[in-house]
Amino acid sequence: MTINAIACVVNYKNKLAIGINNSLVVSLKNDLLFFKNMTSNNISQDSKINRNVVLMGRKTWFSISNDKRPLANRINLVLTNDKELLKTSPYKKGCKIDTLKDHYFITWDDFIDFYKRTCANVFVIGGAEIYNLFLKNPDDKLVPSKIYLTEVYDYKVENNMEPNVFIEPLSQNYKLISVSDKKHDNLYNVHYRFLQYKYIPGYITDEYKYINLIKYIFSNGNERLDRTGVGTISSLGHRMEFDISQTIPLLTTRKVAWKAIIEELLFFCRGDTDASILKNRGVKIWDGNTSREFLDSRGLHNYKSGIMGPMYGWMWRFYGAKYSQAFADTSNVDTQKIGGFDQLAHVENLLKTDPFSRRIYITNLNPSQTANMVLETCHVYLQFYVEQRGNQKYLSGYFTMRSSDSLAWCYNIISYTILIYILALRCNMKPYKIIYNSVDCHIYKNHFSQLQEQLQRTPRPLPMLLLDQSLEYKDWSEMEFNDFDLVGYFPHPIIKMPMAV
């Protein structure tokens, strides 16, 4: 006795689009084959009938061409309140199960009777009202236990034909449990993956750890003046632990600038310290702290705009070397001549040769160089920890922040999560967990109203991170944004939160 849902969706303007008027957004050949295979086969052991059931609304039924309906080898149920349609192929309560026809027009009450009597394996196949009827059903027994989504990427609107039929986002009770390889459809020139979600009653995601920390600081934080002059409420010493073995803890209660996180991390991994590189790639998170005005306020008059000084990337790749802004864009210099200690290469080597060492860490602290930085480093220390179960090694990370604000928590946690994923791939390990530890944990006063809005939203299923296998062998300087795929990320809309500079 199982209810499933199956749909092909396009993430369009942060909504799950399934149609344009009375047509599918895209009709992918392989998706249609997947649909046929899933709904025709894999009959539940509890089912008292030898066919699966496809359940749809009236519009979906009539969108199927005459020669293809009812869908073969399945019992087709069409939910409707249209009295005339109900007369054409009525379902009679109490009819013998072994005499069931290929299709019926039925009411909701009829369906409940049918479902209880047959214990059938049911696939909800649309349209939007029917999907939402089940996705938002208060009865756990009627909520789909599994959802099969075909997630379409790179969709472009043509002839001003914008998607206008949407389904409700999945609740946090759904956990993303598997994804297929990325595939390409030549006709529509789109990529897509097959995703599977499992319904877990009472399940809550790790996102509540972020939410609960925000609530705690709002209720218990201390008002403090700060460097920016904006003011904060602050709390001392907080820790959050996240499971990253299947999904990553990327906020869904507000859309996060995913590209910015990736580009900044790769910027650090290359050893770059010129923020204009990021700016040229559309990432402006360092603009305020590397402007001419800000540099002059720090006494860094000799730095050109965009220069950060010996901060993260420099620490990771050239620790201890004499800093020069001439080295800020590593693509223009022979990095072998810069000198210093390459912490990132050292960590990778230890993970491969001495994985259970207690000395596998990166430090971003160098107090003697603070005056030459646009900001003192906020995330100051990252240590790696390897566990072995059977023949498999699992990689975790623990990082500490001397100063951590609510806008940056997600960025830093996800950034280091991605680094763990890269190193795990390069060292034949699997990612396991990440632990965040903060000293001064605070909320800026110019974020109060935005965070209150965010707290009114309910989390959604966390996404998966997939890496291109080429990252196993690429040089750190060769890694690109397109080497990373974020799968199943369907967040609430963005909430603009200005950085305190």
The pLDDT assigned to 500 comes to 79
The pLDDT assigned to 93 comes to 81
CATH T-level topology, domain 2-199: Dihydrofolate Reductase, subunit A (3.40.430)
* Catalytic site includes residue 410: no
Tell me the mean pLDDT in the region 337-353: 97
Show the tokens assigned to 468: 């291109």
The pLDDT assigned to 177 comes to 96
Give CB contacts under 8 A, 24+ apart, made by 385-393.
385/360, 386/351, 386/355, 386/356, 386/360, 386/429, 387/432, 388/356, 392/429, 392/430, 393/355, 393/427, 393/428, 393/429, 393/430
Phi, psi of 357 (to 5 degrees): -65, 150
The pLDDT assigned to 468 comes to 97
Tell me the mean pLDDT in the region 368-380: 95
Q: Where in the chain is the domain with CATH 3.40.430.10?
A: 2-199
The pLDDT assigned to 193 comes to 96
Q: Decide if domain 207-255+342-487 falls under CATH 3.30.572.10.
A: yes
The pLDDT assigned to 271 comes to 98
The pLDDT assigned to 340 comes to 97
CA gap 102, 99 in Å, rounded = 10
Phi, psi of 265 (to 5 degrees): -60, -45
Picking from 33-42, 84-93, 260-269, 467-476, which range would have the lowest pLDDT averaged per residue? Answer: 84-93
Q: CA–CA distance from 104 to each of 3, 76, 271 (Å)?
A: 18, 6, 65
Amino acid at 56: M
Q: Which of 378, 410, 427, 441 is catalytic?
A: 378
Contact 491, 460 (CB under 8 A): yes
Q: Percent of the chain at pLDDT above 70?
A: 100
Q: Where in the chain is the domain with CATH 3.30.572.10?
A: 207-255+342-487
CA angle 27, 29, 34 (to 5 degrees): 100
Tell me the mean pLDDT in the region 84-98: 84
pLDDT one-digit tens code per residue, 272-290: 999 999 999 999 999 999 9
List 274's β-bridge partners, or say none.
307
Q: How confident is the model at residue 450 (pLDDT cuts 50, 70, 90)?
A: very high
Q: Residue 221: is it exposed, middle or buried by C-beta count within 10 angstroms (0-12/13-18/19+)?
A: middle
Phi, psi of 177 (to 5 degrees): -115, -20
The pLDDT assigned to 386 comes to 98
User: Is 94's pLDDT higher than 80?
Assistant: no
Which of the two residues, 95 and 367, has the higher pLDDT score?
A: 367
Tell me the mean pLDDT in the region 171-193: 95
pLDDT one-digit tens code per residue, 95-104: 788 778 899 9
Query: Mean of the per-residue pLDDT values for the chain?
Result: 94
User: Is 1's pLDDT higher than 60?
Assistant: no
CA gap 220, 214 in Å, rounded = 10
pLDDT one-digit tens code per residue, 413-428: 999 999 999 999 999 9
Cis upstream peptide for 288 (omega within 30°): no
The pLDDT assigned to 91 comes to 87
Picking from 138-142, 250-254, 325-329, 370-374, which range would have the lowest pLDDT averaged per residue? Answer: 138-142
Q: What is the pTM of this model?
A: 0.94
pLDDT one-digit tens code per residue, 462-491: 999 999 999 999 999 999 999 999 999 999
User: Is 363's pLDDT higher than 80?
Assistant: yes
